[in-house]
Amino acid sequence: MSCKNTQHRFSCSKTRSTDTWRLVLTTTAHLHHRTLLPPTATRPQALSLFRSHDKLIRLDPDLSSYEEVPAPATAKDDTKYYKVTDVMHALPAGLWDSTVAFAAEITDIENGVEWVVRAPLGLVQRTLFTIEEASDDDLCGEQDPEKKSGRLALVEDVEIRCSRLLVGTVKGKIEGNWKGIHKRWIEHLATMEQ
C-alpha cells in the first residue's frame, strides 16, 4: 500500500503487490470430458433434459439440498439462480465444514447449458455441458457402421479458478464424479426415449 498525508488525513491506495499476490495464489485449471450417447438419442431430447435444472442439480453425487433464489438486478435473461448445499468429505481439514453452500447460476444456451458455481474461498467453476456430433475418437469402439451414423456426444468443458491450495481437491472431485454424472444423465435421457 502506498500512503500519503493529505491535510493530516492519510489516504491509501493499493499497489500492484496486492494484484501480484492474487495472481501468485490463484490458478486456473481446465478439464474436458466426452461421452458417446446411445444411437437412439436425439438433439431435441438432450436439450430438453438440459432445460430441467432440477434433474441437472440432482446429478451431483454430493447434493444435500438446493433452492432457487431470486435473480440479482444484473441477471441474464435465460439464467436461473440457486443456492446449493453439498456434503463434502474430501476437503482439506479445517477449510470447510462437512457441508458447503454455494451459489449456482444455470444458463440455457443454444446447444446445452452453462453452469457457474461461486463457492467459498474464491472458487469459481464454469462448466459448459453441450451436445455435439460424435467425433471419430468417440466412435472408435463402435463396430456397427449403422450405429456410427448421426451419433451425438455429451461434452463437458470445465474451467476452475481458485486458490492453488484448493485446485487439486476440486479437480479430484470432478475427475472422480464425471463418469457417474454422465451415466445418470444418459439414464434420464433413456427414460425420455420411451
Give the range among 44-48, 96-100, 116-120, 178-182 with minimum mean pLDDT. 96-100
Cα–Cα dist 185/55, whole Å: 8
**pTM for the model:** 0.81
Beta strands in the chain (DSSP E): 2-6, 9-13, 26-36, 63-69, 79-87, 99-109, 112-119, 123-133, 152-163
Please report whether residue 17 resides in a domain.
Answer: no
Q: Which domain holds residue 137?
A: 27-193
CATH number, position 82? 3.30.530.20
Give the total number of structural domains in the chain: 1
pLDDT in tens, 116-173: 999 998 999 999 999 999 888 888 776 666 666 789 999 999 999 999 989 998 999 9
Cα–Cα dist 40/190, whole Å: 9
